């Protein structure tokens, strides 16, 4: 953990103190609801707004980290019986910014990724933005896209100009 501008840094700080506090509050409320901290779970005692990578297990489906958007290095782990239940759990949210599927079976990963309702789903990769690809969420995670060819179109107003040539009443003139 460290300065994200430095080589070798894998996890940087939260952007602001209130974001660190919100993240820690989500973890604490989840533990109160029955989740177990496998690692992490406490802000670091150092300058900056650093929260360690945190893994929560035994997470109840109504815990804060299961029902709210979590913006920070916190991974809730859920046990499911099969692929269908995993997809159902992934889609049982009002949010949908990004997700990831981890598997050694790439065809299965593609199949599952297609069924997850999210703005982006990565197979064997963390959710991230890439300037070459459109990025954005669904549901309460927003609408529209940024980045990539589709994303830039979200920031322009496209205009239609129809010119009717009185000498050609069957349709518009094309230029």
5 in helix, strand or coil?
coil
Beta carbons within 8 Å of 75's beta carbon, 6+ residues apart = 53, 54, 55, 56
CA–CA–CA angle 155, 157, 158 (5° rounding): 125
pLDDT above 70 covers a percentage of the chain that reads 92
Quick check: 54 and 37 in contact, CB under 8 A? yes
What pLDDT, on a 0 to 100 scale, did the predictor assign at position 53?
96
Quick check: 171 pLDDT over 70?
Answer: no
Quick check: 166 pLDDT over 80?
Answer: no
What pLDDT, on a 0 to 100 scale, did the predictor assign at position 129?
77
Quick check: 92 pLDDT over 60?
Answer: yes
What pLDDT, on a 0 to 100 scale, did the predictor assign at position 158?
77
What pLDDT, on a 0 to 100 scale, did the predictor assign at position 156?
76
- pTM confidence score: 0.74
Quick check: 102 pLDDT over 70?
Answer: yes
What pLDDT, on a 0 to 100 scale, did the predictor assign at position 169?
65
Q: What average pLDDT does this structure show over 65-94?
A: 92
Beta carbons within 8 Å of 132's beta carbon, 6+ residues apart = 147, 148
Domain ranges of the chain: 1-79, 83-175
- pLDDT single digits (tens) 31-51: 999 999 999 999 998 999 999
What pLDDT, on a 0 to 100 scale, did the predictor assign at position 173?
56
Q: What average pLDDT does this structure show over 94-110?
A: 88
> What is the fold, at CATH topology level, of the domain defined by 1-79?
Aldehyde Dehydrogenase; Chain A, domain 2 (3.40.309)
Q: Which of 5-19, 52-66, 70-84, 133-147 has the lowest mean pLDDT?
A: 133-147
Phi-psi group of 8: left, alpha or beta (phi > 0 → left; psi -120 to 50 → alpha; rest → beta): left
Quick check: 62 pLDDT over 90?
Answer: yes
């Amino acid at each position: 953990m460290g300065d994200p501008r430095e080589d070798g840094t894998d996890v940087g700080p939260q952007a602001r103190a209130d974001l660190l506090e919100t993240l820690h509050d989500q973890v604490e409320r989840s533990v109160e609801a029955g989740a177990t901290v496998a690692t992490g779970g406490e802000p670091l005692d150092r300058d900056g707004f650093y929260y360690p990578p945190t893994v929560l297990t035994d997470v109840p489906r109504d815990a804060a980290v299961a029902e709210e958007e979590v913006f920070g290095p916190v991974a809730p782990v859920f046990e499911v019986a099969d692929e269908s239940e995993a997809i159902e759990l992934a889609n049982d949210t009002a949010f949908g910014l990004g997700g990831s599927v981890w598997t050694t079976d790439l065809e299965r990963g593609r199949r599952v990724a297609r069924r997850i309702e999210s703005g982006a789903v990565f197979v064997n990769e963390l959710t991230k933005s890439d300037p070459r690809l459109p990025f954005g969420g669904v549901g309460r995670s927003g609408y529209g896209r940024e980045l990539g060819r589709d994303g830039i179109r979200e920031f322009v107003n496209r205009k239609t100009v129809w010119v009717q040539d009185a000498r050609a009443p069957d349709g518009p003139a094309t230029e």
